[in-house]
Amino acid sequence: MALDIPFNRPYVARRTEEYLREVLAAGKLAGDGRFGERCRGLLEAQLGSLRVMLTTSCTHALEMASLLLELGPGDEVIVPSFTFVSTVNSFVLRGAKPRFVDVRADTLNLDESLLEAAVTPQTRAIFPVHYGGVGCEMDVVLAVAAKHGLAVVEDAAMAIGASYRGRPLGTLGDFGALSFHETKNITCGEGGALIVNRSEFVERAEIIREKGTDRSSFMRGEIDKYGWVDVGSSYLPSDLLAACLLAQLEEVESIQARRQEAWERYDAGLAGAVAEGLIETLAIPEECQSSYHLYGLLLANGEIRQRVQSRLREGGVQTTSHYQPLHLSKMGASWGEGAGSLPVTEAACERLLRLPLYNEITALEQERVLDLLLTVLRGI
């Protein structure tokens, strides 16, 4: 049977085509054009942050943060193993090493109670990941970082619109990184943003983002020619992508409201299965406002997850799992302490199932997912 309820269906915002036509008509397609500037302005206003720089991906925003912190050989970074490879690649590319820590069983966010013990004389930074757009316990993360003089880079790939104690995620550490990949709440296909929360990094961030040149100053008319002044790469998205992004950012409130509604519909529909002990669901701590990026549930074990997932697929519903434990991956194993060392991460990677959730999912589609899922769960 064809999959008629996909896991994700990218949303096309109302004014996308109009904005794309404007860029094409203006004939200025490169980065930091009119639309890029409008996206920056909107994001800075929405986040209340010092400076936001659009990037070609969240991966690149994280790489920029690692470059700016000058992470390198001999340095260690505390990071969850339960994350996407980009969080870790960003500093591994520079020669720094990950120190993997386990996650909390309720949110699958970095377990803040393990941080202090993970700090060594080589530790330079902590990279918390706000899983599903639910904030890590940032009071503790920031306190441990301050005590040991560590930088904090928030991987807020899934967290646009989310906050911790009323403060937008991505604005609490030294840097935050957002993703606008096709699967995210707000998307331009591939894209991201670096949130710079400390003024002393702004100038160098502009240079690194512009191939190591001071072209940004030149474009503002501050200097009469630009040159090569530092290391850098090309991290600017085209104004065509910024046009798509702006159309979405203008609708951020209604997008988030729709996702919250969809998330709550799943949560209410699955309350019975939770009470019966068939599944566990992920928590949103009181101090966190979620971005409602994903709906995840934990099945009893990996074998049951596989069975549930294939039965759903047979019924036309696509689900996904999330993350291989990085400390057990081919690349990450050399830095990890082997199987059994991060038990919550290892179990979550086996047991987690993510249900279809996209901006335009309908109540009818969700009812079909729920009916099928509950039938499968109760028959297993």
Ligand X SMILES: Cc1ncc(COP(=O)(O)O)c(C=O)c1O
Stretch in the footprint of ligand X (CB under 6 A) among 53-61, 205-213, 219-227, 296-304: 53-61
| Nearest approach, Cβ of residue 189 and ligand X (Å) | 10
| Nearest approach, Cβ of residue 47 and ligand X (Å) | 17
- Distance, CA of 194 to CA of 155 (rounded, Å): 10
Q: Pattern of binders to ligand X over 216-255, x per CB under 6 A?
A: ----------------------------------------
| Nearest approach, Cβ of residue 155 and ligand X (Å) | 5
Site residues for ligand X, 287-306, by CB under 6 A, read none
129 binds ligand X (CB under 6 A): yes
Nearer to ligand X by C-beta: 83 or 197?
A: 83
Site residues for ligand X, 162-201, by CB under 6 A, read 179, 181, 192
Q: Strand 192-196 vs strand 51-55: parallel, antiparallel, or unpaired?
A: antiparallel
Site residues for ligand X, 72-101, by CB under 6 A, read 83-84, 86-87
| Nearest approach, Cβ of residue 276 and ligand X (Å) | 31
| Nearest approach, Cβ of residue 291 and ligand X (Å) | 12
| Nearest approach, Cβ of residue 179 and ligand X (Å) | 3
112 binds ligand X (CB under 6 A): no
- Distance, CA of 265 to CA of 333 (rounded, Å): 39
Nearer to ligand X by C-beta: 295 or 376?
A: 295
Among 155, 206, 210, 346, binds ligand X (CB under 6 A): 155
- Distance, CA of 124 to CA of 16 (rounded, Å): 42
Of 246, 234, 245, 243, nearest to 191 (Cα)?
245
| Nearest approach, Cβ of residue 170 and ligand X (Å) | 12
Nearer to ligand X by C-beta: 87 or 123?
A: 87
Among 19, 47, 59, 79, binds ligand X (CB under 6 A): 59
Among 118, 157, 282, 299, binds ligand X (CB under 6 A): 157
Q: Strand 97-101 vs strand 76-80: parallel, antiparallel, or unpaired?
A: parallel
Stretch in the footprint of ligand X (CB under 6 A) among 52-60, 109-117, 139-147, 197-205: 52-60
The count of chain residues that interact with ligand X, using the rule CB under 6 A, is 13
**3-state SS string for the chain:** CCCCECCCCCCCCCCHHHHHHHHHHHCCCCECCHHHHHHHHHHHHHHCCCEEEEECCHHHHHHHHHHHCCCCCCCEEEEECCCCHHHHHHHHCCCCEEEEECECCCCCCECHHHHHHHCCCCEEEECCECHHHCCCCHHHHHHHHHHHCCEEEEECCCCCCCEECCEECCCCCCEEEEECECCCCCCCECCEEEEECCHHHHHHHHHHHECCECHHHHHCCCCCCCCECCCCCECCCEHHHHHHHHHHHCCHHHHHHHHHHHHHHHHHHCHHHHHCCCCEECCCCCCEECCCCCCEEECCCHHHHHHHHHHHHHCCECCECCCCCHHHCCCCCCCCCCCCCCHHHHHHHHHEEECCCCCCCCHHHHHHHHHHHHHHHHHC
58 binds ligand X (CB under 6 A): yes
236 with 56: CB under 8 angstroms? yes
| Nearest approach, Cβ of residue 87 and ligand X (Å) | 5
Among 19, 38, 51, 57, binds ligand X (CB under 6 A): 57
| Nearest approach, Cβ of residue 190 and ligand X (Å) | 7
Nearer to ligand X by C-beta: 213 or 290?
A: 290
Stretch in the footprint of ligand X (CB under 6 A) among 42-50, 57-65, 162-170, 354-362: 57-65
110 binds ligand X (CB under 6 A): no
Residues that bind ligand X (CB under 6 A): 57-59, 83-84, 86-87, 129, 155, 157, 179, 181, 192
